[in-house]
Amino acid sequence: MRMAKPAGVALSIISEQTARDHFREGKYDDHTVFVIVRDPRIILRLEEDGQKVPRLTIGGTVSPQEGQAAIQVSRRAYLLDADVPVYSSIAANGTSINVQYVPADKDELLDKFINL
């Protein structure tokens, strides 16, 4: 990730707890922050802490394990059935949820694939 970031852009690889603490302390108030997570519950916990998340983009995800119930939302992204209520809660908080792997891909709303 460090090599992929644009020049002049800061990068911090930190734990969920450190990120939550920094948001609570206002350390990112004058920044645009791009957060990458594996589990949507992290975004929900940030929102529960009072952090506004205007947009969530689902890019590439890990393919579900054999026998694991999931919905394919793009060539490279799956939602586990167990995560659907989490995404619904995130959307209920006013977050726009989109599916897009790279900028060249068509940006589609998640509710095209599941009922939020």
The answer to whether position 59 is within a domain reads yes
**Rounded to 5 degrees, what angle do the CA atoms 38, 42, 47 make?**
140
The answer to whether position 49 is within a domain reads yes
Calculate helix-pair angle for 16-24, 40-48, nearest 10 degrees.
30
The answer to whether position 85 is within a domain reads yes
The confidence score (pLDDT) of residue 41 equals 97
* Residue 53 domain boundaries: 16-111
The answer to whether position 11 is within a domain reads no
List the CATH number of the domain containing 50: 3.40.35.10
Q: Which of 79, 82, 112 is nearest to 96 (CA)?
A: 112
- Digits of tens for pLDDT over the chain (116 positions)? 777 778 888 899 999 999 999 999 999 999 889 999 999 999 999 999 999 999 999 998 888 888 889 999 998 999 999 999 999 999 999 999 999 998 899 999 999 999 88
Q: How many domains does the chain have?
A: 1
Q: Which amino acid is at 99?
A: V
The answer to whether position 63 is within a domain reads yes
The answer to whether position 5 is within a domain reads no
The answer to whether position 71 is within a domain reads yes
Q: Which of 110, 62, 60, 50 is nearest to 86 (CA)?
A: 110
